[in-house]
Structure 1
Amino acid sequence: MLGVPLLHAHDAGDIIVRLGAARMFTSEDSSSILIDKGGLAGTDIGGSASFSNDTQFGITTTYMITEQIGFEAMMTTPFRTKVAFHNTILSAANEPLGKIKQTSPTLNLVYYPFNPRQSFQPYVGAGIGYTWFSKDNMSAVGTSNGFANLRAENAWGKNVQIGFDYKLTDRLILNAQARYYTTDTTVYMDNVLLNIRMKSDMEIKSKIVMIGLGYRF
C-alpha cells in the first residue's frame, strides 16, 4: 500500500516500550489571586498565576489487547515548572516566585486504525491521569520578599493523544506522539512577612510532545 514496506504486525499480547524526550508546553486559565488566610483574608489582589514549560525524560508502555487496540501507560521524570503571579496589586508578588515539581502519569486506551502489518502505524488514544505536585524551591527574589511554601493540590485529569510508530526493524520503532492534558488545581503561596496565604484556582492545559525510540517485546 502506497509503497510502505510491510513488517511484522502489532500482535495481541505484544508489549511496546518507548523512551524519549518529553516537552511540556503549558497554558492555563487562572482565577485572580485571593488572600485566604491572615489579617487580610478575603482580599482579592487581582492578577493571575502561570506555569512555565519544561523538558524531561518520558517512557510509555503499551499492552496490545488485539492487533489494533491496546492500553498505554505514560510516565515522565517530574517537570520542574516556574510559578509566577502577574499584575496583582501586591507589587512584590509580580515575579517568578519559585518552582514546583509536576508528575502526571496517564493510562489511555489507544487505537491503531491502519492495516497492522504496515510499517507506518498512526494511532489515537484517550484516557485519564493523576497529577502529583511537590515542592521544589523558591526563587531568590521570592525568598527575599518573604514568600514561602509554594504548593499545589494533587488532582485527577484527562487527556487525548495522537502519535505514530514507524517500524525500523521487526522490533525497533521510531515514535513521535503528542497529548493534550487538562487538570484543575489550586496553587497556594505564603508570605511570612505579611503573615498571609494567597491562592489561585487554575485549569492547567498541557501539551506534551515526546519523540524517541521504542522496542516491541
Structure 2
Amino acid sequence: MRKTLLTASLLAAAIAAPAAQAFEAGDIIVRAGAITVDPRESSSKIFTEATNDLPGTNATLDSDTQLGLNFAYMITDKVGIELLAATPFSHSVGIKGMPLNLDGKLGDIKHLPPTVSAVFYPLDSKSAFQPYVGLGINYTTFFNEKLTDQRKAQGFSNLNLDDSWGLAAQVGMDYMLTDNLMLNAQVRYIDIETHATADSAFGKVKVDVDVDPMVYMVGLGYKF
C-alpha cells in the first residue's frame, strides 16, 4: 500500500510539475568541444613567372582539430544568433605535380574562421531533443605562414595566403541533459577561398585554392 501511494504521489508530482523549456527568448548558450576543420580543397594549376600554369599541378591542405567555442543568444524561442570561434587551426600546405622533384610539403599556416550565423529551432521548446539549422557569414584570416627549411634551401620565400569572406551553412542538435546542461553536435560547410603566393627561383609562384571545408564539432553546452 505504501509503495502504491508513493508511486501515485510521484506520478502526480511529475504531471503537476511544469515541463522544462529548452530555449526561450533572452537565453545565452555557451558550448565548447572538439572541432575539426576538414578541407575539401580544389585548386587552380600552380603558376610561376618562368613557366606560367604548370599542367597537372595543384595545392593541398590537411585537416586539424582544435578547441571549438559557440556563443548564442536567443532572439525568440526558436531563432538565435550564434558566433563560432576556436583556437587557431594549423595546416600543412603541400604542392603536387611539380617538376624537378619539388612535390611535397611547402610549409605550415594557421587560420581562424569566426562565423556568425542565424539559427532556427523547429521543434517545440519543451522537447529535450532540439535539432537546428543555420546560415551565416564566415571570415577566415590566415597568418603565421612558414616555409619548411627544405623549401627555404630550394629558394622559396614569402609564403602568403589572402584572407577570405564566404557563406556558411550548418545543421546541428542539442540534447538537454538537465534544464541547463546539453549535449551538442554540429556539422558545417564553409565557403573559403584564398589566393596563395610565394617567391621562388622560378619567380613569383601563385595558386588559387577553394578550401571549402566540412567542419565537425561535438561538445557540451550550458544555458544561462
Report the Cα offset of residue 7 of structure 1: 2.7
Residue 16, structure 1, aligned to residue 29, structure 2: yes
| Alignment equivalent of 1:80, drawn from 78, 90, 105 | 90
Gap runs ≥5 in structure 1: 1-5
Gap runs ≥5 in structure 2: 1-18
Q: Which residue of 1 aligns with 2:11?
A: none
Query: In the aligned structure 2, how far is the partner of 1:66 from the partner of 1:166?
Result: 19
User: Equivalences for 1:39-188 in 2 at 5 Å?
Assistant: 40=50, 43-46=52-55, 47-92=57-102, 94-188=103-197
Query: In the aligned structure 2, how far is the partner of 1:33 from the partner of 1:62?
Result: 41
Deviations 1:92-124 (A, max 9, x none): 2x1111111111100001000111111110000
Decide whether the 8 Å contact of 1:120 with 1:165 is kept in 2: yes
Deviations 1:19-72 (A, max 9, x none): 011011111120001114xxx2x6222300111100111101111011110011
More helix by share: 2
Report the Cα offset of residue 195 of structure 1: 5.9
Decide whether the 8 Å contact of 2:22 with 2:176 is kept in 1: no
| Alignment equivalent of 1:200, drawn from 207, 210, 214 | 207
Letter in 2 for 1:186: H
Report the Cα offset of residue 146 of structure 1: 2.3
Provide TM-score, normalisation by structure 1: 0.90
Decide whether the 8 Å contact of 1:7 with 1:167 is kept in 2: no
Report the Cα offset of residue 135 of structure 1: 2.2
Query: In the aligned structure 1, how far is the partner of 2:61 from the partner of 2:29?
Result: 32
Letter in 2 for 1:129: N
Provide TM-score, normalisation by structure 2: 0.87
Give the greater-gyration-radius structure (CA): 2
Residue 216, structure 1, aligned to residue 208, structure 2: no
SS in 2 for 1:199: strand
Q: Which residue of 1 aligns with 2:38?
A: 25
Report the Cα offset of residue 88 of structure 1: 2.1
Deviations 1:137-163 (A, max 9, x none): 322332332222222001101110011
Query: In the aligned structure 1, how far is the partner of 2:209 from the partner of 2:59?
Result: 8
Q: How many residues align?
A: 205
Letter in 1 for 2:99: I
Q: Percent identity?
A: 40
Query: In the aligned structure 1, how far is the partner of 2:138 from the partner of 2:58?
Result: 25
More strand by share: 1
| Alignment equivalent of 1:189, drawn from 192, 198, 204 | 198
